[in-house]
């Protein structure tokens, strides 16, 4: 029996379904592994471009977009880390693609943005519930004829050895994808958007295991509701160009809450959303990778600082006070966490650009791996989906 994932919102009849148990079909022109926001956006884009083909999305969770963090795109940058001379250039370069207003120290709208030396004020910034966005992508995909198979954790990717008697499926759908639960589907081509598991899926398909994924957990604080008046807009610091992490920022959300943070510390489990989550396999995979040690040894002081702030509430609040001095430890509570799928190469370099990868041979030539889709992937999901669809068309000759 199908599992109900989400009832549609007001004004839209029907329901969104993911298929479990008995499958309606098992052969597809293209299968997409991963029902995160990038995978769903890519599947939606592909089926809109190629309505005559059959598409499936394979997701190991029973519910779509289970771990979408849901925070908005923050494009108000209030900088206090650099001297005014260098800061203006950094702000203008990083905000060149945005609609913004440059503010000097006197012009920063303090009640909305906090304090700083300079800032980019983006008055058109919006707040988005990304779980709802991802589910809407899934709805569009299914309404166009796509199939979503949940509870399908991919464990092997192989080529069909031969077609059954009287069938040409082995020639038309030669890629066999099997799940941990013992199910399998056949497809002509495979696209993976697996985030935290992108390197492992690449490896089992015979493609390069690098760049490797090292999980970093980001812990947020919550501003107490009675102090919500302190934050009336999105406030982001100027990020350190050496690292892809955003730094401590203020994020109002759709439900009226305000998230503060996050930090960035090594997670001991790829889906380690809780402080004590631990996986021996994931931990050993990370700490035995030479690229991680090269990164750590080059950035000891930064890493120690992040670990200290992860343990000390007052240390985190001091970061926030650089923007809004009125915030105190009495005004915050410990909140949720997210895990960043950080791509890292063997030289210890944090990969901060898009990486698409395939391979050679019978399987590799039919697979496209999205190895890295850097932040803000959720904000840019439609544009990234178009980029992925272009790459898939080129490689697969759809």
Q: What is the pLDDT of residues 130-145, one digit of tens each?
A: 899 999 999 999 999 9
Distance, in Å, from the CA atom of 267 to the CA atom of 82, rounded to the nearest integer, reads: 30
Q: What pLDDT was estimated at residue 87?
A: 46
Mean pLDDT by 10 residues, the chain (398 residues): 29 39 73 97 98 97 57 37 40 47 65 65 78 94 97 94 60 93 95 96 91 94 95 80 75 91 92 93 96 94 89 93 92 94 94 87 91 86 95 94
Q: What pLDDT was estimated at residue 9?
A: 32
Which residue, 57, 69, 301, is CA-closest to 193? 57
- Where do runs of H (alpha helix) occur along the chain? 37-49, 84-94, 110-113, 130-143, 169-172, 198-204, 280-287, 290-298, 300-311, 313-321, 361-364, 381-396
Which residue, 135, 169, 128, 160, is CA-closest to 150? 135
Place of tokens 């343990």: 311
Cβ atoms 398, 53 nearer than 8 A: yes
Q: What pLDDT was estimated at residue 233?
A: 81
Cα dihedral across residues 198, 200, 203, 205: positive or negative: negative
3-class SS at 336? strand
Enumerate the β-bridge partners of residue 4.
17
pLDDT digits (tens, 9 = 90+) for 165-194: 555 565 789 999 999 999 999 999 999 999
Enumerate the β-bridge partners of residue 217.
265, 339
CB atoms within 10 A of CB 345: 15
Helices and strands, counts by H and E, the chain: 12, 18
Q: What pLDDT was estimated at residue 80?
A: 35
253: burial class by Cβ within 10 Å (0-12, 13-18, 19+)?
middle
Cis status of the peptide bond prior to 325, with omega within 30 of 0: no
Strands 355-357 and 367-372: antiparallel
3-class SS at 269? coil
- Tell how far CA 178 is from the center of its chain: 24
φ, ψ for residue 340, nearest 5 deg? -95, 130
Residue 153: half-sphere exposure toward Cβ, Cα within 13 Å: 8
Cβ atoms 43, 141 nearer than 8 A: yes
- Vertex 239: Cα angle to 194 and 249 (nearest 5): 85
Any idea what DSSP says for residue 44?
A: H
φ, ψ for residue 111, nearest 5 deg? -65, -20
């Amino acid at each position: 029996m199908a599992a109900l994932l989400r009832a549609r919102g007001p004004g839209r009849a029907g329901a969104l379904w993911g298929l479990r148990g008995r499958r309606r079909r098992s052969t597809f022109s293209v299968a997409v592994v991963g029902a995160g926001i990038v995978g769903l956006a890519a599947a939606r884009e592909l089926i809109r471009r190629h309505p005559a083909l059959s598409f499936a999305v394979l997701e190991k969770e029973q519910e779509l977009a289970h771990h979408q963090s849901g925070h908005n795109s923050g494009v108000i940058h209030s900088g206090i880390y650099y001297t005014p001379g260098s800061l203006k250039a950094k702000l203008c370069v990083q905000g060149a693609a945005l609609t913004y207003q440059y503010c000097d120290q006197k012009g920063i709208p303090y009640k909305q943005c906090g304090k700083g030396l300079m800032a980019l004020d983006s008055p058109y910034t919006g707040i988005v519930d990304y779980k709802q966005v991802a589910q809407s992508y899934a709805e569009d995909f299914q309404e166009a004829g796509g199939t979503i198979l949940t509870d399908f954790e991919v464990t092997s990717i192989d080529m069909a050895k031969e077609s059954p008697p009287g069938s040409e499926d082995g020639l038309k759908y030669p890629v066999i994808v099997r799940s941990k639960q013992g199910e399998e589907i056949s497809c002509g081509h495979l696209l993976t958007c697996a985030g935290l598991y992108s390197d492992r899926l690449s490896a089992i398909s015979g493609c390069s295991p690098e760049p490797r994924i090292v999980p970093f957990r980001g812990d947020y604080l919550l501003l107490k509701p009675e102090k919500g008046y302190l934050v009336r807009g999105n406030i982001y610091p100027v990020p350190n160009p050496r690292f892809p992490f955003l730094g401590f920022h203020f994020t109002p959300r759709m439900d009226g809450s305000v998230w503060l943070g996050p930090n960035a510390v090594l997670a001991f489990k790829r889906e380690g959303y809780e402080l004590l989550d631990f996986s021996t396999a994931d931990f050993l995979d990370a700490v035995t990778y030479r690229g991680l040690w090269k990164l750590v040894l080059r950035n000891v002081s930064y890493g120690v600082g992040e670990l200290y702030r992860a343990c000390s509430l007052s240390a985190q609040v001091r970061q926030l006070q650089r923007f809004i001095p009125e915030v105190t430890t009495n005004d915050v509570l410990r909140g949720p966490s997210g895990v960043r799928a950080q791509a890292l190469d063997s030289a210890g370099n944090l990969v901060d650009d898009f990486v698409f990868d395939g391979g050679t041979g019978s399987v590799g030539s039919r697979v496209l791996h999205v190895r890295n889709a850097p932040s803000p992937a959720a904000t840019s999901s439609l544009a990234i989906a178009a980029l992925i669809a272009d790459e898939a068309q080129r490689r697969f000759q759809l």
